[in-house]
Amino acid sequence: MWKLLQNGHIPHVLTRHPQKAEAMQHAGAQIVIGDMNDYESLKVASAQMDAVALMIPAFIPDPSLVPNMANNAINAAKGAGVKLLVYNTSGTVINEMTHNPMFDMRLQLIHALQNSGVLYITIEPTVYMENLRGPWTLPALVASDVLQYPVAADLPLGWIATEDVGALIVAAAEHPELSRRCIPVSGIDNLTGPELAASFTRGLGRSISYRELPLPEFAAIIDQVMGAGVGQGASQAYKFQAENRDKLLMWFDMRPVLTILPIQMTSAENWAAKNAQAFSVPVTSSLSSSN
């Protein structure tokens, strides 16, 4: 949204909770109240739009709702004559059915786009750096200088900032001649757990170590934050990732992508530095008095 404003566009932000979008509205965005399960609200939201950016969260309490959400968004865009739909898969795409709901729903949505007649571009990121601000990572990093995440220490990942993904989506929306292209993207670095911790050490200016977070522990945190049962789906996705390294490409050479979608990428070290305040122990003040 912010990149659209920066590039001179007028973004229309679909939300169920307009109070959460007040900062966007004050910045110049148009707020549209709607729900992806409500086709009519999406039809209204899509009217007179040049392009639609679509993302369905990876973890939702009821994954069976995903096909309906996707079809509503695609059909609303088609009915409104939207020129281009940019789909952020919000994770790696595997071009075969896996029987893992998270990966299969991405492929099914791409197939729906291909069969819809709507012009589309997919942006397929590996893993968000912002995941490292989640409750499964942040408390241990703040309190103990331990960066924990539910992947093996020796598994390299192409961590990408959500800001960079947003910039790529905006660049794609500005280049409809790239339609019908599926574009895998990652960060510029391909880092193992200890290498990621070393980037954080440099970015934060203190010694950070890496810990592989056990999946049951990860699932319990997800359940606590997002509701009972959500953690199971999340942990299954990471279990699948661990068992299928050969199928999951988690880093890409971004140079070819950046020739057609020229943006400035963020390194893990620079991202850590930009978010240093979030990873620091809060400073509390106390007052004392003497007689």
Q: Is residue 215 part of a domain?
A: yes
Q: Which of 122, 119, 38, 34 is nearest to 81 (CA)?
A: 119
Chain segment 91-150, per-residue pLDDT in tens: 999 999 998 888 899 999 999 999 999 999 999 999 999 999 999 999 999 999 999 999
Q: Which of 255, 236, 240, 242 is nearest to 193 (CA)?
A: 242
Q: Which domain holds residue 252?
A: 34-273
On average, the pLDDT of the chain sits at 92
Q: What is the CATH number of the domain that holds 137?
A: 3.40.50.720
Question: Tell me, what's the pLDDT at 277?
Answer: 96
Q: Is the dihedral of CA 61, 124, 127, 50 positive or negative?
A: negative
Q: What are phi and psi of 224, to 5 degrees?
A: -65, -35
Which residue bears the tokens 């122990």?
281
Plot region of 81 (φ>0 → left; ψ -120 to 50 → alpha; else → beta):
left
Q: Is residue 249 part of a domain?
A: yes
Residue 59 — very low, low, confident or very high, per pLDDT cuts 50/70/90?
A: low
Q: Which of 219, 125, 212 is nearest to 169 (CA)?
A: 125
Q: Is residue 288 part of a domain?
A: no
Chain segment 65-83, per-residue pLDDT in tens: 888 999 999 999 999 999 9
Query: What span, in angstroms and rounded, lies between the C-alpha atoms of 118 and 82?
Result: 8
Q: Is residue 27 part of a domain?
A: no
Q: Which of 213, 212, 119, 129 is nearest to 164 (CA)?
A: 129
Cβ–Cβ under 8 Å, residues 74 and 118 = yes
Which residue bears the tokens 């934050």?
225
Helix 215-226 to helix 230-243 angle (10° resolution) is 150
Task: Tally the domains of the chain.
Answer: 1
First and final CA of the chain: distance in angstroms? 56
Q: Is residue 28 part of a domain?
A: no
Question: Tell me, what's the pLDDT at 2?
Answer: 78
Chain segment 240-259, per-residue pLDDT in tens: 999 999 889 999 999 999 99
Residue 254, both tokens? 């971004």
Residue 18, both tokens? 């307009």
Beta pairing class for 12-15 and 159-160: unpaired
Q: Is residue 239 part of a domain?
A: yes
